[in-house]
Amino acid sequence: MRQLRWLLVAVLLAVLTACSGNPILGKWETKPVNVMGISIDITPGLEFTRDTMKLNGQMHKVTYKTEGSTVHVIGESGIGLVVHVVDRDHIYTEIGGIRIDYTRVRDQQAARAFLI
């Protein structure tokens, strides 16, 4: 009985830790932005890890500050990026008044396992 109780506590802690994680961690791709009727591919995508952001093939050390559905991504220079979380698979940023939408990139192997 005691072992079962500790197992239950461990599972609950794991679930709570997963729920409180950073919502933008992972790989993201963008759709082309429509500016005055012209479709422009602004960025090749983003990738966020626990302490880095990959942009244009370069890794940058970052920290994160989450306020509700907004995540501030702050680089070592203090300059940051504001990421708005729409839902689990969609985020957006705004640069120069232009909204850039991103969709989470799913791991193909994980997607196949989910469908089986």
The whole-number pLDDT of residue 35 equals 79
Could you give the C-alpha distances from 114 to 12, 19, 98, 104, 105, in angstroms and in order?
Answer: 23, 20, 35, 16, 15
Structural domain of 94: 23-115
Query: Domain containing 41 — which CATH number?
Result: 2.40.128.280
Inside any domain, residue 45: yes
pTM greater than 0.75 (yes/no): no
Which structure tokens are listed for 57? 């093939």
In a domain, 100, yes or no: yes
Does 109 reside within a domain?
A: yes
Per-residue pLDDT of the chain (116 residues; tens, 9 = 90+): 656 555 444 444 444 444 458 999 999 998 777 778 888 877 778 999 999 999 888 999 999 999 999 999 999 999 999 999 999 999 999 988 888 899 999 875 444 444 44
What is the total count of domains within the chain?
1
